[in-house]
Amino acid sequence: MTSVFASIASNAEVHPGQIVFLIGGEQPDRLTSMLGAYLDRPDVERVVLLTGTPAVAARVAAPYADYREEGRLVTVVAGDDIDGALWAARRGWGEPDAMITMPLEHRVALTAFGSRAIAAD
């Protein structure tokens, strides 16, 4: 099933220089696979990985330390404040051109994007 997520990321329509927000954490292996697929794309400038806990952020980002050093991978830990984390990510790295949500470690509603909000479940 992991290859399905990588295939989705590999075939998604993303234009050069785009910023991708990848939100999740309940299924770290799938999230890791999808993160790698986006980072491997030369048309993606940066991936902002947003998780609920530091442990999941560290686990998912660990295989991609080189991308973190290059600034192409940024991790944001939301804790219980997903809205605050999304706003901070937007202020720090700009509006996402693509936002992919998977279930977080705990269920919360994403309201920071108003009518464009996507539920994390």
Digit-coded pLDDT (tens) for 43-97: 999 999 999 999 999 999 999 999 999 999 999 999 888 889 999 999 999 999 9
CA–CA gap between residue 69 and residue 81 (Å, rounded): 26
Strand partners, 21: 48, 99
Tokens encoding 106: 């705990």
Task: Fill in the amino acid letter for 27.
Answer: Q
2-116 has CATH 3.40.50.150 classification: yes
Tokens encoding 114: 């108003």
Res. 119 pLDDT band, cuts 50 70 90: very low
pLDDT for res 103: 82
Q: Which residue reads 């309940």 in tokens?
A: 26
- Backbone φ/ψ region at 25: left (φ over 0), alpha (ψ -120 to 50), beta: left
pTM, two decimals, is 0.76
